[in-house]
Amino acid sequence: MLNDEELLRYSRQILMPEFDIAGQEKLKSARVLVVGAGGLGCPVALYLGAAGIGHLTLVDDDTVELANLQRQIAFDQTALGEAKAERLADRVRAINPGTSVTAVNQRVQGDELQRLVQDASLVLDCTDNFATRFALNRACVAAKVPLVSGAAIRGEGQLSVYDPRQPDSPCYHCLYEEEGSEDLSCSEAGVIGPLVGMIGAAQAMEAIKVISGVGEPLVGRLLILDAWKMRWREMKLAKDPGCPVCSSSE
């Protein structure tokens, strides 16, 4: 049940007939796991916190560096040297005290990662390495928890939603093979700041759609953005019947 302050705070969302109070209450009851508190994780956490997600868990083992400030919009000069997850959690709390936020200032894997995923209504992959992406995908498939995945490098970004609750939904492994997938970091290849904001904001939008049940999430579709030309392309993604991750989970 929403109180009077919440009805006012979220009034611009509630005013939409398709969303209404029912959609807002679904956000309030949701528990969302955000892995990565950098360029993608910052806009994701800020928008979801502002939108009224009931509980956010933010995971990142890194600290804020000067080179992060060009694109990681939750941080300022005073945050240098501090834990990203904790500082981002503080920013979300400052925007919306009604959102409960837990910061995990360490890399999670194995049983701990599986526990965090199982406790979540939805997971957002805001990481920058394939090892974590594949581990998140396996954990989400096992727990049947939707995964919103985003990536950005140079001037290119991509976005998709993998929902193991749907029998025809592909998983991340259906798109990328673990063998031969090599990381390319922003520190090596560069990235333009607004790009991560665009992809992160789109991830937050997809999360709201999945949680509220409003709209058509990007399940079975991959959006690819060329920011320099401002062109979006859409690719259809099919479930791989031989996928070692999601085909064996049924």
pLDDT digits (tens, 9 = 90+) for 97-139: 999 999 999 999 999 999 999 999 999 999 989 999 999 999 9
Percent share of the chain, pLDDT over 90: 92
Mean pLDDT, the chain, as a whole number? 95
Residue 37's pLDDT band, with cuts at 50, 70 and 90, is very high
Q: pLDDT category, 185, cuts 50, 70, 90?
A: low
Counting every residue written for the chain, the total comes to 250
Question: Over 70: is that where the pLDDT of 250 sits?
Answer: no
- Structure-token pair, residue 248: 């064996």
pLDDT at residue 11, rounded to an integer:
98
**Could you tell me the CA-to-CA distances from 75 to 21, 37, 39, 78 in Å, in that order?**
32, 10, 10, 8
pLDDT at residue 178, as a whole number:
82
- Does residue 180 have a pLDDT over 70? no
**pLDDT higher than threshold 90 for residue 179:** no
Q: Residues 133-174: pLDDT tens digits?
A: 999 999 999 999 999 999 999 999 999 999 999 999 999 999
In this prediction, residue 183 carries a pLDDT of 60
Four-way CATH pick for 4-249: 3.40.190.10, 3.40.50.300, 3.40.50.720, 3.40.50.1980: 3.40.50.720
Assess whether pLDDT exceeds 60 at residue 23.
yes
Answer whether 53's CB lies under 8 Å from 212's CB. Answer: no
Domain segments of the chain as ranges: 4-249
Q: Look at 184 and 177; give whichever has higher pLDDT.
A: 177
Query: Would the pLDDT of 181 be above 60?
Result: no
Rounded mean pLDDT of 5-10? 98
Judging by beta carbons within 10 Å of its beta carbon (0-12, 13-18, 19+), is residue 43 exposed, middle or buried? buried
Q: Which of 239, 189, 228, 32 is nearest to 126 (CA)?
A: 32
Q: Residue 217: its pLDDT value, please? A: 98
pLDDT at 190: 87
Structure tokens at 182: 């090599």
40 contacts 203 by C-beta, under 8 angstroms: yes
pLDDT at residue 188 above 90?
Answer: no
